[in-house]
Structure 1
Amino acid sequence: MDDAARRLLQRLVRRIPAQTLKTTLDKWGRLKAAQRQSMDFTQSKWALTEKLLAICEENELTLKHIAELEMIHVIENPDRSMWYALQLMDPEDDAHSVELTQFKEQFKSHLSELVRHVSIKIKKHTDEAVWIRIAWGDSFSRPNHLKPTYVVHHLQTPYVFVTGLTSKLKLLLTQALVLSTRHQAIKDASLSGRKLTAIRDLLMRQYQQVFPTKYPSPLAESNQNATNPLIDKEQAELSANRHQMACEAFGSGMLPQLQSAVYKLETKFRDHMNKTMTEREEPLKCVVKFASTSLLESLRHCASSGIASTPVTPLLSSIPLKGRNYFVITDNGPGPSSQTRQPQN
């Protein structure tokens, strides 16, 4: 093993929790049964690293094999990075017929033409997602496997999810994606989050949605001994209507665990009592961020319980409706307008 493989393996063992390292190595399949049994996973990370390095040396494993181990860990634990969504645009007539082998060949070919030194590993996951690991180099340096980019794409869909992508490399990646998927353009989807499954389910509508109805079913009266049954009935109907409108805005059942939504305000300051701010030429700028362990669930509860007013404002209902969590609000229109954003590390 060369120094690059050693450094990658050392960092990888530090990142993987000891209780899951054994399972990850089993899935890797590069160690013999006797070698796996010889490892004591109760030892310190330093001792485990030294033992694993010795075994990999014995098996003559290379940087390519260690990158495979990292890819297994990332696929099994995708929520440790910030993911950004991209959307492919203007599909060509044969875009729907692109299959895995063709995509792999085309993607590797196009990206290798754009970057002289690049390492690409493509793997299809059990949920049909295509995972891509890219270690970038340039005309003079070898690929840096310590800072790879990961890409997730479901074939025959227009959505791509990336992490670890810098602005400098974005153009190269998107150009290869557009060519290999038979599309003509790609744009930022203005959606990001640490839970890959959440932003994927939101964009692909893989959660239970509720569509508007003029006749929501009223809640059954739960307390027959109420002092005023008319008031009790009215409150039950109001509660049912709030719940209906909350579900129409955000969906019902389990919702994607989106963790944040950002609203950027760019508008003129309006207050006739404050001429200093009103007469300034530059627009007033501020940012509002909503954060929660499950933002859509929190917003639905606020609307359903009466904490937030109903019908739900388009500023909030646009999150699931448009599949975005980044909005720019300007004076150009009555509703929230989205603006593309560059992925950042």
Structure 2
Amino acid sequence: MINSSTESSLRKVLGSFRREEYVTLLKQWGSFPADRLSDVEKATSMKRTAKKALVQHVIQLCSVKNLSKHAVGELELIYQQNHPNSRKWSVFQLTEQAETKEKHHVTTMEEFKERLNKQLSLYFRNDLCIRRHRDAWWIRLGIQEGTQFHRQTASNVVYMVHPPQSQFIILSTIKVSHKDCVMQALLNSLRCSEIREIQLTGRNLDSLASLALNSNSQGWFSQFRLNQVDTNPLAKRPSRKRKAPSSEILDSDIVFENEKEKELRDKQVLHSFGSNEQPKLQKIEYKLETKFRGCEFAPAMSLNKEPFRCRVKFEGTNVLEGIRQLAKTGLVSLPLPHHLGNVHSLAKNHFVLADKKRTRPPEQN
């Protein structure tokens, strides 16, 4: 039979499933009896069956196996792999050890798990699950606090995603009290000299990974990364007629009186953002520490020599796409400043804007 604490954890995980994904996720799990999947499929097809009753039915079918806490953790990891956007993620960059010139990505997933488990055990008891999913290593770290192992709250669970051939690792929210220990364990396991947060956060994991891994091929250059161009851009070729840009108006209340100006604007937007869908960032934040430039409207501010500090925040389901649409409709001035028009290539969405410090030339005697 299933342990009571394990059953409670399993019930919580199963309660997160959508009705139509029970069979698929349980099949990926591998710890559920294959001959009972048909019973689950039949139960999920009965629309009148309450979610609570469905979960209880699956738990009863699981009782034929002595499930461990680790097995439930693996099921939770599988659920997270299928719902990556349910959490907030932060991107960290790894720096290799220069003195040994040892590449951290040469290790296998099994070796990495063994190293990481050994390092984490120096700080706290833990339950470590790791699976490969879409060419990346997915790690679920459950940290024990207290005297009993079943005391593993949601805040003590950390998810990590590491493409093994890259210098980036993406982490879910982690407790401040655990952060230093986990970072040191990752450094020793991946044999790196430094791990630092690159101020790139959000909920869309695929977009964050794309912004970090492909920072040099965003915007207009994304067409080459996505193999949408079948010729060498540097090779000489005869010019051919281009299709006229679409004259579709996104807002029916907007009337374009100057078509030439609109064509120029469309060209500038295409050059900055390209024609592909933009990576999804839910927030872009700027902290300004610059000289106040509105003295003609507020003359008294000219007497203040201290930097003018304020915070500007853009929020939405897809901020980069929103900025592009504002530029297309002429609601912002073009060309966009560098910190707005090149966000997709900076691999950051938190910025500090400050005035450049001018250095005086050395005095000649």
Same fold (TM over 0.5): yes
What amino acid maps onto 2:139 in structure 1?
I
TM-score normalized with structure 1 length:
0.80
1:177 maps onto 2:186 in alignment: yes
Contact preservation (8 Å) 2:279, 2:344: no
| Corresponding residue to 2:62 among 31, 56, 65 | 56
CA 274–2 in structure 1, closer or farther in 2 if over 3 Å, else same: farther
The sequence identity of aligned pairs, in percent, is 27
The residue that corresponds to 1:7 in the other structure is: 8
CA RMSD, Structure 1 to Structure 2 (Å): 3.2
1:263 matched to 2:272? The reply is no
Give how far 1:5 is off: 1.2
Work out the CA distance in 2 between the residues paired with 1:73 and 1:221.
Answer: 43
Counterpart of 1:257 in 2: which secondary structure? coil
**2:78 aligned residue:** 72
Q: Does 1:210 align with 2:220?
A: yes
Secondary structure (helix, strand or coil) at the match of 2:339 reads helix
Residue matched to 1:195:
204
Report the CA distance shift for 1:6/1:221 in structure 2 as closer, same or farther (over 3 A): closer
Matched, 1:167 2:168: no
- Report whether the alignment pairs 1:132 with 2:139: yes
- 1:155-206 residue CA offsets vs partner (Å, 9 max, x unmatched): 1211111113122211112112222222211111111111100111111117
1:306 matched residue in structure 2: 330
Which of 243, 263, 266 is matched with 1:243 structurally? 266
| Residues 1:222 and 1:196: Cα distance change in structure 2 (over 3 Å) | closer
Which runs of 5 or more structure 1 residues have no equivalent in the other structure? 224-231, 335-345
CA distance in 2 between counterparts of 1:84 and 1:305 reads 32
**Corresponding residue pairs, total:** 318
1:58 alignment partner, SS class: coil
1:119-142 superposed Cα distances (whole Å, 9 cap, x missing partner):
1111111x2100010001247453
Q: State whether residues 98 and 156 of structure 1, in contact with CA within 8 Å, keep that contact through their aligned partners in structure 2.
A: no
Counterpart secondary structure, 2:197: strand
> So what's the TM-score if we normalise by structure 2?
0.76
Q: Which moved more, 1:136-145 or 1:184-193?
A: 136-145
- Report if the CA contact (8 A) 1:219-1:240 is conserved: no
Distance 1:221 1:285, change over 3 A: closer
Per-residue deviation at 1:309? Answer: 1.8
Moved more, 133-142 or 80-89: 133-142
Is contact 1:12-1:70 (8 Å) kept? yes
* Kept after mapping to 1: 8 A contact 2:138/2:159: yes
Distance 1:202 1:118, change over 3 A: same
